[in-house]
Amino acid sequence: MTHSLLTGAEEIAWDLSDLYAGMDDPQINADLDRCDAEAQALREAYRGRIASLSAAQLAEMITAYEAIVERSGKVSTFAGLNWTQNTEDPARGALMQRAMERGSRLQQELVFVELELAAVDDEVAAGWLADPALARWRHWLETVRMFRPHLLSEPEERILAEKAVTGRNAWERFFDEAHSAARYTLDGQELTRDQVLNKLYAPDRDLRRRAAAAITEGLRRLQRTSTYVFNTILADKASDDRLRRYPTWLSSRNLANQVDDRTVDALIEAVTGRYDIVARYYRLKRRLLGLDELFDYDRYAPLPAADRFYPWDAAREVVLSAYGRFHPRMAEVASRFFDGRWIDAPPRPGKMGGAFSHGAVPSVHPYILLNYEGRPRDVMTLAHELGHGVHQKLAGVQGVLQADTPLTTAETASVFGEMLVFQDLMAQESDRAVRLGMLTSKIEDAFATAFRQISMNRFEHAIHTARREEGELTTEQFNALWLQTQRAMFGDSVTLTDDYGLWWSYIGHFISVPGYVYAYAFGQLLVLALYARYQQVGGDFADRYIALLTAGGSQWPHELVKPLGVDLTDPAFWNEGLNILEGWVAEAEALADGVRS
């Protein structure tokens, strides 16, 4: 079954007027100019004096600083979201570039704030942190000081901020625009990458094979560009780490995620140590599909009973119902995304691929981008991004400096949202064949979030290490490292063709946020443990979960989840989630035996 029907999402476009009326809104320039004036005034009033401020005076300064960050963030949010709707439009690109350049200039003007906060004596800082006047920003102050060993002088930091606009930020934009503009030829049609990737979920094996070949051919046309951009970003990261004295390529990301290297190492070791679960599942998948050999383009082939079509209104009902059954506040906040036109749903030429939820700024609200085509996985993507959106909206009460969470806990609400929808749908289904189809689809999604992201972390580790030790890498070297790290996960259960070796080259996270991907696995295994607690204790768990989301980034991650019965500092913690995944595979095997009998 292929889905050529209209989804009902064709006209679901977000309304950015809550930010600005349009690209020519004079308020954009007015806000940028106001930010510059206020930043200059703040600099004149406080530069060189921060260490001598009382707690009350510091609170006054942070209030003014936060207002500038909020207003600047509103401009950059509008410019960025406006660009994602059509990355091929030069006017949209020009606005985003202008916002980026003005943002860099503002950052240079205000860089003294965090530098001086980080540099104050521990005794002075302890007095501030204990004072009620600064309670609202306590954790933000803690995290600013955490980077103290890795900060440079103010002139150096200003230069780095200035050059980033024409450096790594420019390469990131170029990569996004090049891949968004690319078209892939499938059966005589020119399609976007996401449209072709969706064919890998089709039941027709020959269509999946042709789609995979089309992706490879399109990536091959871009391989010289992609290879050069990757090499440049890897070199830039190495330079930055050297200047800032980070011991490993991942240390800066771990610090930003507010977890120590040992915790991340324990996560990676636990997941890679259970790759046998992946191989066990895909051997079952091969049997269910009746294939002698399972190729990379077969991994997401649906079982017949799982290949359903969800119009937009049905997807909305599924997600809101599941959210509401967990906690009415979840459904209430999520429904505002639909009613307020905070979602841009349909795929369009030039639109950025994939999906995300952008937190924007607390004074406005988040926005969600999708490329919705009505498949079950699109429903799960909606649940995932609405989880982010609810989290971001609730956390807005913390203010712009503490609303955002580290990437590790940022994935908690999104993956939990998926779990709510999955468990809700499973509870309503009695047909064993349909349940099996739903379970295998969920297992594959969970594997993509946990195991695959760690295998991609291993690829990142390999390419960052090789770039630093060997110099510029060739496309063939990237390909070989990609296949090596992916084959380690699948073992003998999936045959990865040589063509698949090029599929590293479109993954934007490697470019935009090096080291990001392990956060998905962190979030997946954390959520499995959290959901198990929810099933065990019930009671006020849902209220405590809402409190967790509302806290945003106002506390250390391990402290945030402690009231929910989770100890992130326990190295054995990750095995809880992995054991649940193994249990799902065993359940799928039992269902498969029951369906056959």
* Closest alpha carbon to 103 in 83, 80, 137: 80
Q: Can you give the CATH number for the domain in which 84 is found? A: 1.20.140.70
Instruction: Classify residue 205: in a domain, yes or no.
Output: no
The whole-model pTM stands at: 0.86
Under 8 Å between Cβ of 170 and 188: no
Q: Which two tokens stand for residue 236?
A: 């830039």
- What sign for the dihedral angle of Cα 525, 139, 544, 419? negative
Mean pLDDT calculated for residue range 137-154:
95
The mean predicted confidence, pLDDT, of the chain is 94
Residue 426 pLDDT exceeds 90: no
Above 90 in pLDDT, residue 305? Answer: no
Give the mean pLDDT of 342-367: 94
Could you tell me the residue range of the domain that residue 156 belongs to?
16-166
Say if residues 385 and 413 touch (Cβ distance below 8 Å).
no
**Amino acid, single-letter form, for residue 246:** Y
- pLDDT tens, residue by residue, 441-469: 899 999 999 999 999 999 999 999 999 99
Residue 110: pLDDT band (50, 70, 90) is very high
Encode pLDDT of 34-55 as tens digits.
999 999 999 999 999 999 999 9
Backbone angles phi, psi at 367, to 5 degrees: -130, 145
**Degrees, nearest 5: CA angle 269-274-280:** 160
Low-confidence winner among 97-106, 167-176, 431-440 (lowest mean pLDDT): 431-440
Number of domains in the chain: 1
pLDDT value for 138: 97
Q: Over the stretch 88-100, which tens digit does the pLDDT of each residue have? A: 999 999 999 999 9
In a domain, 73, yes or no: yes
Is residue 64 pLDDT above 90, yes or no? yes
Residue 307 has pLDDT above 90, yes or no: no
Per cent of the chain over pLDDT 70 is 98
Got the DSSP string for 399-446?
A: -TTTSSPPHHHHHHHHHHHHHHHHHHHHHT---HHHHHHHHHHHHHHH
- The number of C-alpha atoms within 13 Å of 574 and in the hemisphere containing its C-beta is 23
Which one is predicted more confidently, 276 or 375?
276
Segment 332-343 mean pLDDT: 98
Q: What whole-number distance in Å separates Cα of residue 360 and Cα of residue 366?
A: 5
Where do runs of H (alpha helix) occur along 245-305?
251-256, 261-272, 275-289
**pLDDT of 597:** 53
Quick one: average pLDDT of 240-245?
96
Collapsed DSSP state (helix, strand, coil) of residue 103: helix
- Crossing angle for the helix pair 432-449 and 518-537, nearest 10 degrees? 130
What pLDDT score does 2 carry?
Answer: 43
Q: Does the pLDDT at position 326 exceed 80?
A: yes
Count of C-beta atoms within a 10 Å radius of residue 347: 18
Place of tokens 């070796």: 501
Asked, for residue 59, whether it belongs to a domain, the answer is: yes
Q: Which of the four pLDDT bands, split at 50, 70 and 90, describes residue 371?
A: very high
Residue 227 lies in a domain: no
Whether the predicted pLDDT of 596 surpasses 80? no
- Phi and psi angles of residue 405, each rounded to the nearest 5 degrees, phi first: -100, 160
396 in a structural domain: no
- Return the DSSP state at 473: P
Residue 145's pLDDT band (cuts 50, 70, 90): very high
pLDDT at 1 over 50: no
Instruction: Kindly indicate the confidence band of residue 594, based on its pLDDT and cuts at 50, 70 and 90.
Output: confident
End-to-end alpha carbon distance in the chain? 25
127 part of a folded domain: yes
Hey, what are 202's tokens?
Answer: 């089709």
508-542: pLDDT as tens digits: 999 999 999 999 999 899 999 899 889 888 789 99
Between CA 229 and CA 507 the distance in angstroms is: 12
Band of pLDDT at residue 229, cut at 50, 70 and 90: very high
Mean pLDDT of the 382-398 span: 97
One-character DSSP codes across 563-587: GGT--TT-TTHHHHHHHHHHHHHHH
- Could you tell me the two tokens for 360? 């924007």
The confidence score (pLDDT) of residue 493 equals 97
Residues with Cβ < 8 Å from 309, sequence gap 6 or more? 1, 3, 5, 374, 375
The answer to whether residues 359 and 404 touch, using CB atoms and an 8 Å cutoff, is yes
Cα distance between residue 460 and residue 249, in whole Å? 9
107 within 8 A of 524, measured Cβ to Cβ: no
Determine whether 57 is exposed, middle or buried from the number of CB atoms within 10 Å of its CB (0-12, 13-18, 19+).
Answer: middle
**Cβ of 261: how many Cβ atoms within 10 Å?**
13
Averaged over 423-428, what is the pLDDT?
88
Indicate whether 107 belongs to any domain: yes
Q: Taking a C-beta distance cutoff of 8 angstroms, is the pair 217, 182 a contact?
A: no
168-205 pLDDT, tens per residue?
999 999 999 999 899 999 999 999 998 999 999 999 99
Q: Is the pLDDT of residue 376 over 90?
A: no
pLDDT at 3 exceeding the cut of 90: no
Is residue 52 a part of any domain in this protein? yes
